[in-house]
Amino acid sequence: MTRWHPHEARKLQPSNLQPVREAVPALGRLLLQPRVGALLTNLKLLDLVVRRLDGGTDIDASAWVGESSVAEWFWIAEIERGSDRLARGQFARGIAQAQADQLASSISVDALDANTLSAAQSLVADQLLVQDRGDRLAFAHDLYGDWARLRILLNQRANLATFLQERYESPLWHRAIRLLGIHSLERESGVAEWKTLMASFNNGDMTVVRDLLLEAPAFAMNARTLVDEMATLQSMDAMLDAAHAAGLALDVMPIQRRPPSLCGCDDANQSCLSRFTPNNAGT
């Protein structure tokens, strides 16, 4: 009988990227920026950046705060470029929405408007889409789909609750909803914009959306700063208690990603974080 042994894959650190830095010297300047270095430990993003640098494109990452700002860079640099950039953007959003609405990993070419296929071919040529068996199209990486769905939600801000009414139960929308919360928090108006977004889901039955937005601070790159700011809000404790009672995804996040200041102290030990970990075993 074959015996399987667990292997712990430790999270990459910017220092682990030294071999890549030596192979691609232009990467060194980006890795000097702490926030960017942390983001580039995502191997798919690293691949995107290295391909752009190898192609001779300079990357200004000074505005990168977290994944939501990277998603914005990706959209402008990878999707909406070239003479057919509007068609490419529309097609990418269409594929992303169809995936989430149909709970499908790929979409049949036969279901698409023939007039859009030139944009599809352009995205396939750029390795952003791939053609699956049975004449179906999919994103080359799940992240691309998440970022395209974030773009859709940003475009639907004026009527977001209405747009999500028939969609919020699809798991493929969930990460984009959380990214929307992160996007709000990582902007200059930060917490105020996030509170306004949360308030738009105070009523009705879309508690899943509110829960996903409530998780956003813990997933943001500047999580500690954000939660410290939120601690000054009288309503924050009530919201966090509600999150704890609801057993949100906060209870399964790796402990090192839970900001210690969530509990109002500076000690990152288990006891300080216990109120946010109803299922401590296994975290």
**pLDDT tens digit sequence for 17-27:** 888 888 888 88
Compute the average pLDDT of residues 36-52.
84
CA distance 127 to 210: 35
Q: Which one of 26-30, 78-82, 100-104, 217-221 scores highest in mean pLDDT?
A: 100-104
Please, are residues 176 and 68 in contact by the beta-carbon 8 Å criterion? Answer: no
Per-residue model confidence as pLDDT tens digits over 1-19: 678 888 777 778 888 888 8
- Identify the pLDDT of residue 265: 38
Per-residue model confidence as pLDDT tens digits over 202-254: 777 888 898 899 888 888 777 777 777 766 664 555 555 545 444 444 443 43
- Angle among Cα 142, 144, 148 to the nearest 5 degrees reads 120
Q: Residue ranges per domain, the chain?
A: 16-64, 158-276
Name the residue with higher pLDDT: 157 or 54.
157
Q: Report DSSP letters for the chain, one per residue.
A: ---------PPP-GGGGHHHHHHSTTHHHHHTSHHHHHHTTSHHHHHHHHHHHHTT-----TT--SHHHHHHHHIIIIIS-STTHHHHHHHHHHHHHHHHHHT-SSEEGGGS-GGGHHHHHHHHHTTSEEEETTTEEEESSHHHHHHHHHHHHHHTGGGHHHHHTTTTTSHHHHHHHHHHHHHHHTSTTHHHHHHHHHHTTSSSS-HHHHHHHHHHHHHSTTHHHHHHHHTTSTTHHHHHHHHHHHT-GGGGS-GGGS-GGGGTSS--SHHHHGGG-TT-TT-
Query: Residue 119 carries which side chain, given as an amino acid letter?
Result: A
- Identify the pLDDT of residue 257: 35
